[in-house]
């Protein structure tokens, strides 16, 4: 069995797992580097995307995700390393020799052509018989729910409809891999949420691999089977959305994917099942020992805002819970919940979400006890302090 060991950040760390490459893959990156002069845009990344996955590259602007997509699509070449599509090294092949199509944020539709003509354009260039073009265009427009708009021009369509035309035009060629470079960025919030579900539905129906690039955490969480969080040209963590959210591997991932409360502490004891940490104010916190993936003693514990439960004045915490005290600060109304800023006894600012249904609003200055289960705690090493220049 051929094995490929993947290091999450390409930085010499121990490999995180062994992947059986007999499993069908559509994309494999091996130690890919992309430089522009002295600037390293993509820094030695390795990644496998399985056939039929909806996979997302997630990260802030400038993290290297779009550059990675461009190299996979053939619009740019890696400075070193290799890119495999379906087991074939395509590192230096032009886009037209790769079985890949791309949908960009700008839909690039032909304004003088109808919807049907836009979708059929690539098929006509390939010399596909007219009857086959008619059938394939009809089927594709049905898939994206645009059968009633075949004769309209792009200017007569909404942004969401234009996006679906661009998607149909890319899919009608039956690529093995579809690349999507922030295709929902130009849509308003409501339409973007609708299109997230539409994209996921379409991908599930046709079964081809989607590689989606976004800086929007919610988009990646909603649509992806797996995602890779990128920062500084490197892959910080790869996994299913729920696993990356609940068990981030670094301070960056914890802060970028959703909201995290990161509290400094020191490990005081380790045992087979449960370990203990002490916070700055002397509070003891227990965590599942399997969450301690570091030998360091000075760490940060993480608790997501929705994992906290605010105990009533007469409510007794169960022996299995962790409890800390704090003082309520500002409150923000979010519709389904309130977001509270709570300052702990050690001066740590915490974010707490409380559902509005049946829960009275907390008063500013009120002393509260925050409780949560040990299994809802993750532990990470603190990030090194950022270097400062003159």
Q: Where are the domains of the chain?
A: 3-246, 259-380
Query: Residue 354: what pLDDT?
Result: 93
Q: What is the pLDDT of residue 390?
A: 38
* Low-confidence spans in the chain with pLDDT less than 50: 1-22, 387-390
CB 160 within 8 A of CB 168: no
Burial class of residue 41, CB neighbours in 10 A (0-12, 13-18, 19+): buried
Q: What pLDDT, on the 0 to 100 scale, is given for residue 358? A: 76
Contacts of residues 141-145 at CB distance under 8 Å and 24 or more positions apart, as own/partner, are: 141/115, 141/116, 141/168, 143/168, 143/171, 143/202, 143/205, 143/206, 144/168, 144/198, 144/202, 145/198
β-pairing verdict for 209-214 and 54-58: parallel
The CATH class given to the 259-380 domain equals mainly beta
Distance CA 138, CA 132 (A): 10
| 372 within 8 A of 308, measured Cβ to Cβ | yes
pLDDT in tens, 297-335: 899 999 999 999 999 888 888 888 999 999 999 999 998
Coil/strand/helix, residue 355: strand
SS3 of 200, please?
Answer: helix
Query: Which CATH number applies to 3-246?
Result: 3.40.50.300
What is the pLDDT, as a whole number, of residue 386? 53
Given this model, what pLDDT does residue 370 score? 96
pLDDT tens for 247-261 read 999 999 999 998 999
Predicted pLDDT of residue 21 = 40
Q: Helix, strand, or coil here: 323?
A: strand
Angle between helices 130-143 and 189-206 (to 10 degrees): 130
- Give the per-residue pLDDT at 88: 94
Sorted by sequence, the CB contacts under 8 Å of residue 95 that are 6+ apart come out as 73, 74, 75
pLDDT reported for residue 242: 95
């Amino acid at each position: 069995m051929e094995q490929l060991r993947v290091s999450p950040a390409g930085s010499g760390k121990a490999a995180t797992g062994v992947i059986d490459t007999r499993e069908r893959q559509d994309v494999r990156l091996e130690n890919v580097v992309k430089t522009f002069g002295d600037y390293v845009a993509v820094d030695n990344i390795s990644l496998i995307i399985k056939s039929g996955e909806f996979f997302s590259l997630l990260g802030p602007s400038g993290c290297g995700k779009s550059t990675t997509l461009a190299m996979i699509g053939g619009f740019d070449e890696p400075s070193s390393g290799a890119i495999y599509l379906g087991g074939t090294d395509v590192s230096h092949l032009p886009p037209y020799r790769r079985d890949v199509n791309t949908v960009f944020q700008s839909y690039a539709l032909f304004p003088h052509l109808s919807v049907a003509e836009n979708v059929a354009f690539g098929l006509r260039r390939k010399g596909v018989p007219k009857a086959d073009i008619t059938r394939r265009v009809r089927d594709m427009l049905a898939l994206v729910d645009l059968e009633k708009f075949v004769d309209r021009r792009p200017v007569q369509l909404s942004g969401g409809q234009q996006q679906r035309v661009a998607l149909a035009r890319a899919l009608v060629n039956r690529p093995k891999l579809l690349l999507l470079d922030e295709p929902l960025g130009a849509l308003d919030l409501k339409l973007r949420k609708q299109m997230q579900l539409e994209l996921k539905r379409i991908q599930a129906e046709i079964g081809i691999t989607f590689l989606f690039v976004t800086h929007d955490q919610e988009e990646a969480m909603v649509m992806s089977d797996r995602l890779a969080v990128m920062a500084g040209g490197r892959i910080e963590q790869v996994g299913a959305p729920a696993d990356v959210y609940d068990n981030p591997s670094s301070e960056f991932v914890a802060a970028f994917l959703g909201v995290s409360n990161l509290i400094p502490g020191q490990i005081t004891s380790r045992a087979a099942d449960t370990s203990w940490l002490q916070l700055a104010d002397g509070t003891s916190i227990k965590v599942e020992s399997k969450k301690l993936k570091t030998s360091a003693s000075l760490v940060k514990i993480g608790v997501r805002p929705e994992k906290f439960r605010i105990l009533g004045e007469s409510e007794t915490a169960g022996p299995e819970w962790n409890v800390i005290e704090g003082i309520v600060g500002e409150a923000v109304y979010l519709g389904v919940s309130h977001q509270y800023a709570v300052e702990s006894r050690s001066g740590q600012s915490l974010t707490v979400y409380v559902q509005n249904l049946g829960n009275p609003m907390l008063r500013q200055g009120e002393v509260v006890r925050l409780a949560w289960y040990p299994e809802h705690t993750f532990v990470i090493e603190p990030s090194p302090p950022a270097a400062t220049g003159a």
